[in-house]
Amino acid sequence: MLVLFETAAGYAIFKVLDEQKLQQVDSLWKEFETPEKANKVVKLKHFEKFQDTTEALAAATALVEGKLGKSLKKILKKVVAKEAHEQLAITDAKLGGVIKDKLNLSCVHSPAVAELMRGIRNQMEGLITGLPPREISAMSLGLAHSLSRYKLKFSPDKVDTMIVQAISLLDDLDKELNNYIMRCREWYGWHFPELGKIITDNLAYCKSVRKIGDRTNVATTDLSDILPEEIEAEVKLAAEISMGTEVSEEDIGNIMHLCDQVIEITDYRAQLYDYLKNRMMAIAPNLTVMVGELVGARLISHAGSLLNLAKHPASTVQILGAEKALFRALKTRRDTPKYGLIYHASLVGQTTAKNKGKISRMLAAKTSLAIRYDALGEDTNAEMGVENRAKLEARLRQLEEKGIRRISGSGKALARADKYQHKRQQKRKRRRKRRPKMRGSEIVVNI
């Protein structure tokens, strides 16, 4: 029997000297306690060393995918084909099937072979001559790094890592922007409180503060590129009669620096949103059409990856993000939540409160199909998402119009009211039911 043993330095072919010892699987490890004992069980027949790390990486990736690499095919034809009657012991059963189909060699994979491989690996330095331990260690480390980079680069699970990071950063930017703007309005409000009520847009407010500085400069400052004409006139009028306190130039300088930060972060947020939109349309176009870029990215981020999200059923997609509410409802035996992150989708948002649960359930079902199509399908178009969204919009219109009853034509039958009964007539009926009936000497009471 021949043994195919893969190392980071190259391929080794061993010849089993005593095949009877392989039958004793439980005690086989004793034969590899020392290099001397190991050399009595197996003997190195051929060793094919890799030329560089690139060749080693190509061979390793082929083994991981269960394919027959060029270097392995060459060595099998060169060494093993001469002894075609011998069986070839291998580690991977899938690789053995490929070798048998292409080279017509009999391959063996069993618990005894696995124990034999473990023993060879334990005494590899003594069995493979002409290869220093330091060189084996260096090649193993280099191959490990190269293989990790290859997996990270080409793994389908890691393609959406950029989306997860981008949506997390977008949420962080929103929180920081809210804090900065609140601080800016409160800080500058001591000096010019009327400006905060006149200008409601946060970005326009910060740009105006940045351009005005001290409120005494409002009369000579042109704000036409930031504000409409009527609002600009209102700001100038408010500056003349402002009730704000006087502040120093140092305070104004710090407030203007804070406004610069808000403007820069807002510009970066807009750029990041465009990047996220493009990435979502490239990776998950159907999911984007169904629920939008932000909700789709949050669903992917919550599940960890697009492939993990595709494994969730529609009922889980519907309440994804509302786990605390779900477990609280199960614990207290109350109604479970109807929606989680999917609540922020446009289809659910434009529905009345009565139909939100129905629409969220239908949207989750179609979204689950879109996710699986994006994650596992080969096409990159959004036709399926557009078609399903049109169906949901038609169903939404049907639900919304169902509650409106028309008082014309055939709608009269639906709008027909029950006959009006006066309260006195209802009371008389109740009294008649309660009045006792006389039968001879017996009194029969209807209850």
Calculated CA dihedral for residues 310, 311, 312, 317, nearest 10 degrees: -10
What is the average pLDDT score of the chain? 82
Which pLDDT value is given to residue 168?
A: 93
What's the CA gap between 276 and 282, in Å, rounded? Answer: 10
Tokens of 350: 């434009």
Compute the Cα dihedral for 167, 168, 172, 173 and give only its sign: negative
Q: Residues 418-436: pLDDT tens digits?
A: 444 444 555 555 555 555 5
Burial classification of residue 297, based on how many CB atoms lie within 10 Å of its CB (0-12 exposed, 13-18 middle, 19 or more buried): buried
Which pLDDT value is given to residue 188?
A: 92
Mean pLDDT of the 305-320 span: 92
Question: If you ran DSSP here, which 8-state letter would residue 131 be given?
Answer: -
Q: Which 3-state string (H, E, C) describes 311-333?
A: CCCHHHHHCCCCHHHHHHHHHHC
Which pLDDT value is given to residue 48?
A: 80
Relative orientation angle of helices 383-402 and 356-376, to the nearest 10 degrees: 170
Among the listed ranges 55-69, 253-267, 369-383, which one has the minimum average pLDDT value?
55-69
Mean pLDDT of the 144-173 span: 77
Q: How many whole angstroms from its chain centre is CA 26?
A: 46
Closest CA to 5 of 83, 103, 88: 88
Say whether pLDDT at 130 is over 60. Answer: yes
Q: What backbone phi and psi angles, to 5 degrees, belong to 6?
A: -100, 135
Q: Residues 59-79: pLDDT tens digits?
A: 887 877 777 777 788 778 777
Say whether pLDDT at 301 is over 90. Answer: yes
Higher per-residue confidence, 90 vs 238? 238
Pairing of strands 442-444, 437-439: antiparallel
Which pLDDT value is given to residue 379?
A: 77
Mean pLDDT of the 274-287 span: 92
Most confident of 53-57, 80-84, 144-148, 160-164: 160-164
User: If residue 89 lies in a helix (H) or strand (E), which one and from where to where?
Assistant: strand 88-89
Which pLDDT value is given to residue 106?
A: 79
247: Cβ–Cβ under 8 A, 6 or more apart, which residues? Answer: 190, 191, 214
Mean pLDDT of the 153-158 span: 53
Q: Residues 88-129: pLDDT tens digits?
A: 888 777 778 888 777 777 788 888 888 888 888 888 777 777
Which pLDDT value is given to residue 446?
A: 46
Say whether pLDDT at 266 is over 90. Answer: yes
Burial classification of residue 200, based on how many CB atoms lie within 10 Å of its CB (0-12 exposed, 13-18 middle, 19 or more buried): exposed
Residue 11: other Cβ atoms inside 10 A: 21
Residue pair 293/277 in contact by the 8 Å Cβ criterion: yes
Mean pLDDT of the 178-184 span: 94
Going from the C-alpha of 404 to that of each of 349, 359, 395, 414, the distances in angstroms are 20, 18, 15, 11
Q: Percent of the chain at pLDDT above 70?
A: 86
Q: Residues 15-33: pLDDT tens digits?
A: 888 777 777 777 777 788 8
Residue pair 127/32 in contact by the 8 Å Cβ criterion: no
Domains along the sequence of the chain with CATH: 2-154 (3.30.420.220), 163-275 (1.10.287.4070), 285-402 (1.10.246.90)
Mean pLDDT of the 128-140 span: 77
371: Cβ–Cβ under 8 A, 6 or more apart, which residues? Answer: 284, 286, 287, 299, 306, 309, 310, 317
Which pLDDT value is given to residue 428?
A: 58
Q: How confident is the model at residue 444 (pLDDT cuts 50, 70, 90)?
A: very low
Which pLDDT value is given to residue 111?
A: 83
Tokens of 419: 């006959």
Q: How many whole angstroms from its chain centre is CA 244?
A: 49
Encode burial over 208-240: b for 16+ CB neighbours within 10 A, e otherwise. bbbbbbebeebeebebeebbeeebbebbeebbe
Residue pair 120/32 in contact by the 8 Å Cβ criterion: yes
Higher per-residue confidence, 216 vs 69? 216
Say whether pLDDT at 353 is over 70. Answer: yes
Length of the chain equals 447
Q: Residues 362-376: pLDDT tens digits?
A: 999 999 999 999 988
pTM (two decimals)? 0.60
Which pLDDT value is given to residue 273?
A: 95
Which pLDDT value is given to residue 57?
A: 80
What's the CA gap between 139 and 9, in Å, rounded? Answer: 6
Mean pLDDT of the 259-286 span: 94
Higher per-residue confidence, 321 vs 153? 321
Residue pair 320/302 in contact by the 8 Å Cβ criterion: yes
